[in-house]
C-alpha cells in the first residue's frame, strides 16, 4: 500500500505542475504537499483526482475539460494566502477545492470575499467556517467540535474516567476543544489534564509527564500529522498504555504508517462512511475507479477528496457551459445532492454546513477496523 500511494501521489503531483493543454475549467488548491500533513493531503488528492480523471475521460463538464492547479503551502497560513492570491488573481481559477488547515483556510477568507470565489470542501472541520455563515465557503465534512464531543462520550461509555487532552495551541485546537468540553459536560467529567502543544513542534518532554502524572486512562490528542504520531511514540516510550483518540484530520493511511508499531488500539474519528463497507454505493463507486487505476485500497482521506470533488463537479455541471465564479456560487446556494448511498449534501443561502456524519474507527496493525 505504501508503494501504491507513493507512486500514485507522485504522478498526480507531477500532473498538477504540468498544465493540461485542453483544460478549460481551472480549479485551484493550496495544501500541504511537503510538510507535517502531506501524507494525508496526498491521499485526499488521490481521491479527488479519481473524480477529475473520470469526468475528463467522459468528455469533461458540459464539454469542457477540468484541471486542478495545486500549490504547496507546507501548512503555513502565510503561504496559503499567497498561493490563493496567485490562484485567484493570476491563474483565474473559477473555484477553490480542498484547501487544508484551519488557520490556512481562515487566512484566505478575505480573498474569497473580495473576488467572490467559492471554496468547496475545505479539508478542515472548524466551526468558524460553519457559524457564522461564510458566504463563499461550502463545507462538505462535519465539524471538529462534533468529532471531539463524540470522542469524549465514546470514552466515557467504555468506563474510562480519567481523560487527558493534548490540544494544538492554534485556532484548530481551540475550536476542537470547545467540542471536547461539551463532551466532558455531558459525561459529567473534567479533563484529567489539558496540555497545550505547539502546532508544528510540540514539546513532548513537557507534555508526556503531564499525562503520566495524571495517570490518564485515555488521551484525546488534538493535533495534526507528525505532531501526533511522534507524541504517541513518546507517550508509549514513557510506559503509558493510555487509549489514544484523535480526529479525522489524521484519518489517513500515511498517518498509520508514521505511527508504525505504536498504531495498535489508536482510535480515529471519521466523517464519512467506513471505507471497507464495500456494499455502500459511494464506497463501491470509489473502489471501482481506484481499481481501474491499480489502487486496491481506499482510505478516509481519499474518500474526503473523492466526495468533495464530486460535489464541486456536480455543481459545475448544473451551472452550465462556461461557468463563472458568480454563477457557480448561485448554483451552490440552491443545491441538494446525494453523493452516494444517502450521503446528502445540501446548501442554501443561510446554511453551508454539508454532511452531518461522525463515526469511529479503531486502528490495529496499521489498518482501519471497526
In the structure, what pLDDT confidence band is assigned to residue 221 with cuts at 50, 70 and 90? Answer: very high
Can you tell me the distance from the alpha carbon of 126 to that of 142, in angstroms, rounded to the nearest whole number? Answer: 9
Q: 127-158 burial, b for 16+ CB within 10 Å, e for fewer?
A: bbbbeeebbbbbbbbbbbbbbbbbbbebbbee
Non-local (6+) Cβ contacts of 90 within 8 A are none
Question: 69 in helix, strand or coil?
Answer: strand
| For residue 292, pLDDT beyond 60 | yes
Question: What is the per-residue pLDDT for 363?
Answer: 55
Can you tell me the distance from the alpha carbon of 66 to that of 6, in angstroms, rounded to the nearest whole number? Answer: 24
Question: 19 in helix, strand or coil?
Answer: coil
Mean pLDDT over residues 47-60, rounded? 97
Question: Is the model more confident about 135 or about 355?
Answer: 135
Question: 116 in helix, strand or coil?
Answer: coil
Number of other CB atoms surrounding residue 78 within 10 Å: 12
| For residue 168, pLDDT beyond 60 | yes
How many residues are there in the chain? 370
Question: What is the per-residue pLDDT for 265?
Answer: 74
Can you tell me the distance from the alpha carbon of 339 to that of 223, in angstroms, rounded to the nearest whole number? Answer: 29
C-alpha 296: how far from chain center: 21
Question: What is the per-residue pLDDT for 365?
Answer: 37
Distances in Å between the alpha carbon of 285 and those of 49, 98, 272, 343?
Answer: 14, 20, 14, 13
Q: For residue 337, what are the β-bridge partners?
A: 345
| For residue 10, pLDDT beyond 90 | no
Are 131 and 250 spatial neighbours (Cβ–Cβ below 8 Å)?
Answer: no
Structure confidence by residue, pLDDT tens digits, 229-259 = 999 999 999 999 999 999 998 988 888 889 9
In the structure, what pLDDT confidence band is assigned to residue 34 with cuts at 50, 70 and 90? Answer: very high
Structure confidence by residue, pLDDT tens digits, 95-153 = 999 999 989 999 999 999 999 999 999 999 999 999 999 999 999 999 999 999 999 99
Specify the long-range contacts of residues 140-143, CB closer than 8 Å, at least 24 apart: 140/304, 140/307, 140/308, 140/311, 140/345, 140/354, 140/355, 141/248, 141/271, 141/272, 141/304, 141/308, 141/354, 141/355, 142/271, 142/354, 142/355, 142/356, 142/357, 142/358, 143/179
Amino acid at each position: 500500500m505504501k508503494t501504491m500511494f507513493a507512486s500514485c501521489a507522485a504522478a498526480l503531483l507531477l500532473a498538477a505542475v504540468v498544465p493540461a493543454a485542453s483544460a478549460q475549467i481551472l480549479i485551484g488548491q493550496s495544501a500541504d504537499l511537503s510538510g507535517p500533513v502531506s501524507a494525508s493531503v496526498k491521499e485526499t488528492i488521490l481521491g479527488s483526482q479519481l473524480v477529475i480523471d473520470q469526468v475528463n475521460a467522459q468528455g469533461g463538464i458540459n464539454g469542457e475539460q477540468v484541471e486542478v492547479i495545486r500549490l504547496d503551502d507546507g501548512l503555513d497560513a502565510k503561504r496559503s494566502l499567497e498561493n490563493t492570491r496567485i490562484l485567484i488573481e493570476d491563474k483565474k481559477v473559477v473555484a477553490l477545492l480542498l484547501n487544508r488547515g484551519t488557520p490556512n483556510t481562515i487566512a484566505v477568507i478575505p480573498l474569497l470575499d473580495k473576488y467572490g470565489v467559492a471554496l468547496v470542501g475545505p479539508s478542515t472541520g472548524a466551526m468558524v467556517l460553519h457559524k457564522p455563515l461564510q458566504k463563499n465557503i461550502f463545507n462538505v465534512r462535519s465539524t471538529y467540535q462534533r468529532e471531539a464531543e463524540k470522542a469524549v462520550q465514546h470514552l466515557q461509555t467504555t468506563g474510562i474516567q480519567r481523560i487527558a487532552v493534548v490540544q494544538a495551541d492554534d485556532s484548530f485546537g481551540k475550536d476542537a476543544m470547545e467540542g471536547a468540553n461539551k463532551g466532558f459536560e455531558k459525561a459529567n467529567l473534567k479533563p484529567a489534564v489539558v496540555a497545550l502543544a505547539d502546532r508544528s513542534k510540540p514539546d513532548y518532554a513537557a507534555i508526556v509527564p503531564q499525562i503520566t502524572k495524571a495517570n490518564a486512562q485515555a488521551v484525546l490528542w488534538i493535533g495534526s500529522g507528525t505532531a501526533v504520531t511522534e507524541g504517541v511514540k513518546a507517550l508509549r516510550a514513557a510506559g503509558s498504555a493510555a487509549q489514544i483518540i484523535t480526529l479525522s484530520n489524521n484519518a489517513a493511511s500515511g498517518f498509520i504508517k508514521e505511527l508504525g508499531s505504536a498504531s495498535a488500539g489508536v482510535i480515529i474519528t471519521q466523517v464519512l462512511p467506513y471505507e471497507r463497507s464495500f456494499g455502500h454505493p459511494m464506497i463501491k463507486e470509489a473502489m471501482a475507479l481506484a481499481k481501474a487505476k491499480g489502487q486496491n485500497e481506499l482510505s478516509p482521506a481519499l474518500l474526503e477528496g473523492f466526495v468533495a470533488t464530486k460535489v464541486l463537479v456536480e455543481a459545475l455541471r448544473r451551472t452550465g457551459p462556461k461557468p463563472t465564479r458568480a454563477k457557480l456560487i448561485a448554483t451552490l446556494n440552491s443545491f441538494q445532492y446525494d453523493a452516494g448511498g444517502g450521503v446528502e449534501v445540501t446548501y442554501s443561502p443561510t446554511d453551508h454546513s454539508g454532511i452531518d456524519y461522525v463515526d469511529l474507527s479503531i486502528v490495529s496493525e496499521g489498518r482501519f477496523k471497526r
